[in-house]
Every structure is written in structure tokens, then in C-alpha cells.
Amino acid sequence: MTNILIIARKEIQEGLRNRWVLATTLLLAALSLTLSFLGSAPTGNVGVNQLDVVIVSLSSLTIFLLPLIALLLSHDAIVGESERGTMLLLLSYPIGRGEVIFGKFFGHLAILAFATLIGFGASAAALTLTGTHITGESWLAFLSMLGSSVLLGAVFLAIGYLTSTLARERSTAGGIAIGIWLFFVLIYDMALLGGLVAAQGRAVPALLLDLLLVANPTDAYRLLNLGSGNAGALSGMGGVAANSRLSTPVMIVALSLWTIVPLGLASFFFSRREA
């Protein structure tokens, strides 16, 4: 555990030195503040809680942005050090290869979590400072969104590490990472929508729908944050959630498995890879 923490601290220090932490935090804060004030403008006096509108906006932003940031952070974590020759030096110390994987992962996850909590938290802080009334239910939904956003980032960090252990060149890992982002964020849902259109109005079995949703971590995240409560009514995902038997614990478990399995595979392949 000590070695894991040492490597995690090294990754955090490198993130600070390379301005990753600052750049990511400022980007998320700027976008969240923009969405907070522009997105809440149409609510008027119809009784819609402004923080609920912010949750819907930030959840949509998270689906596109956090997976990309996570993949950019992690796609060259292994193959990049191998190309630079620093991996040989690192492995010359009494450190296991699994400790290298998990230490780097937790370091990058700390960077991503800090940027997400501060960046997105800025929007809630801004609404509070402007005197906006926010209910306890909305605060709970916002905190749930923050936690699940960090979990979604962990999913794509783990996928990025798996890519980095399998690729032999940084350029190849970068190309694969972009392809993974495009597939999960854009192509998968377009294909799913095309399948529903091709069904010509025939009902999709509930079990099949549930499997299709958890087969994509971004869809599980979307349903987790936009499928119930006021956010479900605002986002239009309430109808999908009503026809799904997926509960909140099940979707959290699904996202956790999406993190554990790729990270475990990354550790397995790295243990058999030449440095």
C-alpha cells in the first residue's frame, strides 16, 4: 500500500507540474458556471429549481467531457513511460507491477476527482451566493451527480490504462483512446437509436433494454442522474427509467465493474509485458 501511495503522489506532482490539475479544474469550472447562469435563465417562475436544471446540464456535459479527459490522462500512462525508458528505472525499485498500475490509477483519479468537485462545485456555490433557493432534495441529487461523475471518470481511466498496456506506441494508444471515446459517447447511442427506429414501434423487451443500457457506462451514468426526480422530468429520461428495472445500486455496481474489470486486465497484461 505504501508503494501505491508513493506512485500516486508522484502522478499528482507530475499533474501539478504539467498544469493538468489547473487546466482541468478551470475548464470544468468555466463550463459549469456558464451552464449554471445560461441554463437556468429559461426557468422563469414556473417552479423549477435552478439547481435541477444545472444537474441536467452538467450531467450532459460530463458524458462528453469527463471520459475524454480521463482517456487523455491515462492512455499513455504505461506505453509513454516505456517509450521514454523511465519504466525500466521505475521497475528497478522494489515495486510490483500491480502497484505501478494501481498507484498511477489512484493518482490520476485524485486529479480528476479534485477537478470535478471544484469545477462543478463552483456552479452550486455561485447559485448559493446569488440567493437562489435550493431544496434538500436538489442538494442530494447534486451530490449524487458529483459522486457518479467521479465514478464515470474512473471507468474511462481504467479503460485508458488497459489501452496503454496493450498498445506498443503512444500514437497507437492515442488513436485507440479517441476511438473508444467516439464509440461509447456517440456511436453506441446512435446505433441504439437506429435499432429502435428499425423496430418500427415494436416494444423492446425490458431485460434487453436494461442490458443495452449497462453495456455502455455513459448510458448507465445518464440513467443514474437523469432518470428520476426533477432531473428526470427536465431531461426526458423519466420515460426510459419507467420502463427499466435498473435500480440505483445496480447502476452503481455496473459502473464499478466497468472500472474494476479493465483495471484488473490492465494489471494482468502489464505483468506479462516487457518494460
Tens of pLDDT along 223-254? 888 766 565 555 556 556 666 778 889 999 99
Q: How many domains does the chain have?
A: 1
- What whole-number distance in Å separates Cα of residue 193 and Cα of residue 133? 37
Other beta carbons within 10 angstroms of residue 12's beta carbon come to: 18
Report pLDDT for 22. Answer: 87
Which are the contacts of 89, defined by CB distance < 8 A and separation ≥ 6? none
Other beta carbons within 10 angstroms of residue 211's beta carbon come to: 11
More confident residue, 107 or 200: 107
Report which residue type is found at 267. S
Is pLDDT at 44 greater than 70 in this prediction? no
Section 40-67 average pLDDT: 74
Is pLDDT at 88 greater than 70 in this prediction? yes
pLDDT-based confidence at residue 45 (cuts at 50, 70, 90): very low
182 is written with which cell numbers? 467516439
**Domain carrying residue 265:** 2-271
Report pLDDT for 47. Answer: 47
